[in-house]
Each structure stands twice: as C-alpha cells, then as structure tokens.
Amino acid sequence: MPIRQLKIRGVRNLQPLDLTLHPGVNFIYGANGSGKTSILEAIVLMATGKSFRTSQLKHVQAQDADRIELVFDIEDEALGQCQLDSLRLKSGDNLLKLNGSVLTAQTEAAQWLPVQVIEPTTFKLLSGSPEERRQFIDWGVFHVEQKFIEHWKVFRKQLKQRNAVLKEKELQWLPVWNQTFAESAAVIDNYRRTYLKRFKPEFERILQQLDDSIQVQLAYYPGWDRDSELNDVLNKQQERDLALGYTQSGPHRAELRIKVDKQPAAEILSRGQQKTVVAALKIAQGALFQQESGRRTIYLVDDLASELDEKHRFALCKLLEDLKCQVFITSIDKDKLTDIWQPVASKVFHVEQGIISEDSPATA
C-alpha cells in the first residue's frame, strides 16, 4: 500500500517538494521546526481531511500561500494504482479528485490511504475524550467492512432526526423515531462488537511483544446499559431527553474502556507506558487490517525517541518491519533512526528550514 510519489505545496514552512518515496521505510530527520512533521501532517490531511496537530486547517497553510496543493501517486495491492489530488483554498473551499474525477466524500480518499499516526500526543487515545476511542474503533470497522460507512450515514441521519423531534417536543413522533433509531443503532453496535472480538487477541499479542510487563484490559461500552434493550432505555429517558433536547444514549456515546487493574490506564501508567500501549493499539489495528483485507496500513511515526527508550524503540520498529508496510518515521537524530532499522531497505531524507533532500540512496 505504498505512496510512490507525493507533491506538497503551501503547507506550513515547507518549500514546494516532489518526493519519490520508498515502498518500505522512509526516514526523515532534521532539527525541531525544520518541517519534518509537516510532511506527515500533509499525508494525514490527504487521508482524512484533518490535521493531527491542529483543529484549524488555516494554521496548516503557509502564511504566504493562497492554497494547499497535494498530489499523491498510490499503488495498492488490491485496489490498483491511482492519483489523488487535493486543493484547499484560503476561503475554505476544497476540491478532491481521484484520477481526475471529483470525489464527493473524504471517505473515498480514506479508502486508498489507511493511515495510522504514532506521535508524542497519541497517549490522548487513553486520556482524551470517548470520541477519540470511538473514532479508533470505527477506523478499524470502516477499513474492513465495506458496508459500514453506509450504515453509519443512516445512523447519523436517524440521530439527527430524533434530536430534531426532541427539540420541537413532537411527542407523537417519538415512538416511531425511537424504533428506527434503535434498529439503526443495533447495526452499528453489532459491527463494533464483532470487530473488537477479533481485535482484542491481536492487541494482546502485539502488546506482549512491545512490553510483556504491561497488562491492559479492553472493555466495550455500547453507549447504553448493556443489560437493557436500547428502545427500553430511550423510553425511560424520554423526559430527560426532551428536557435536554438531544439523545443521551446510543452508539454515539459508545466507549472503549482501557484499564489496568480495573483503573483507567491513563491514571496508572507512565507517559512512556501509555505511548507503548497506544503504539500496540495502532499496530494491532494495522495487523488485523492486513490479515483481513490483504492490504497494508501506512504508518507515520513522529519523533520516535519521544518517551520511548532504546528497547521499546527497537521492539516497535521490529513489529513494523514484520508487517512489511510503508513507514514514515521522523527524528531529530539520524543515528537513532538508521541504527535500529539497518539493514532494512529504506530512503533517508533530511529537512532543513523547510527544504528536503534525499540523504542516501535506497538500500538494496
């Protein structure tokens, strides 16, 4: 699933670049503020339409640029070859194309770019909001279940309509919307449960290889009392929902609870241990995706040395190497990258003041 070539224009401090990439490991090193993380950010922007560094895309655009232009040439084991083009203007307008044809949804680009990011703030997957963990589950379901996205769209429509009925206090319509909402919710819940049943053993295997001293339990909460039917819950909460004007229970409130000794992992583990657990979650997700689809995840690892000692860096790199996937990995120190990975076939890029150059040829 490699990105063969990428062109980036108008992203932060990066000078216009045109890179031919390695299908395996791509090392990117340079001083803080040089622009190396911005390359990873551009890849995530193409894949998701979002940045992992800021919620406001205007901050991604270079100050002296009137647009962001991204062009990716991709070769996929199953889907074939394609060119993705993204154009984002200062006005907020966005144009996304696949082989010259306009795409109407970001998810169409996401199918070509199954990207996982491991970076210094990824421990927020443990300490952040339930929404981040729901998105983590749904990434896995989306990439292995082709019909999931359509069911998700239906569910979101049902949720929006039920909330509108609650706000308008249209009591006569609530029984109808309760039933259709519960039916749609059951489909989403079943997808998630089925996926997590397959995911848990893969996560445990990966975490064991990264650090066998960390024991973590994963528990899924569907968004309502698991011992009750959702329709019954909706009826019991109807007065409260009407007062609030929105639906309190359902898949939109689901949670992946990550615990150590029955306590939230974020409260028990050190920062380094949290990053190890998050790395295990993301590598396991990519491994499962590969097993079930025959395709490979693209991994973006920003600041490898951050809060990971040499032992854990080596274990992380070994797992990624075994997956034989494309990896983009950044560091301030070139030696901390290449020493761990050699003799893996790779390319090394150096970034200085927004200018990137290839530091060494691909290794045979």
The binding site comprises 30-37
Q: Write the single-letter amino acid at 77.
A: E
Q: Which long-range contacts (CB under 8 A, 24 or more apart) does 268-273 make?
A: 269/126, 269/214, 271/123, 271/307, 272/307, 272/308, 272/309, 272/312, 273/211, 273/214
Determine the Cα–Cα distance for residues 241 and 249; give it in Å rounded to an integer.
Answer: 9
Token look-up 């049943």 returns: 197
3-state secondary structure 27-95: EEECCCCCCHHHHHHHHHHHHHCCCCCCCCHHHCECCCCCEEEEEEEEEECCCEEEEEEEEEECCCCEE
The token pair at 251 is 């898949």
Determine the Cα–Cα distance for residues 336 and 304; give it in Å rounded to an integer.
Answer: 8
Tell me how crowded residue 43 is: count the other CB atoms within 10 A of its CB. Answer: 21
Determine the Cα–Cα distance for residues 330 and 322; give it in Å rounded to an integer.
Answer: 19
Determine the Cα–Cα distance for residues 59 and 56; give it in Å rounded to an integer.
Answer: 6
Annotation: binding site for ATP: 30-37
3-state secondary structure 71-89: EEEEEECCCEEEEEEEEEE
In this structure, are strands 67-76 and 3-9 parallel, antiparallel, or unpaired? antiparallel
Beta bridge partners of 258: 218
Determine the Cα–Cα distance for residues 129 and 24; give it in Å rounded to an integer.
Answer: 33
To 10 degrees, what angle do helices 310-323 and 174-210 make?
110
Please, what's the largest Cα pairwise distance for the chain?
Answer: 71
Q: If you ran DSSP here, which 8-state letter would residue 356 be given?
A: E
Handedness of CA 292, 293, 295, 299 (dihedral sign): negative
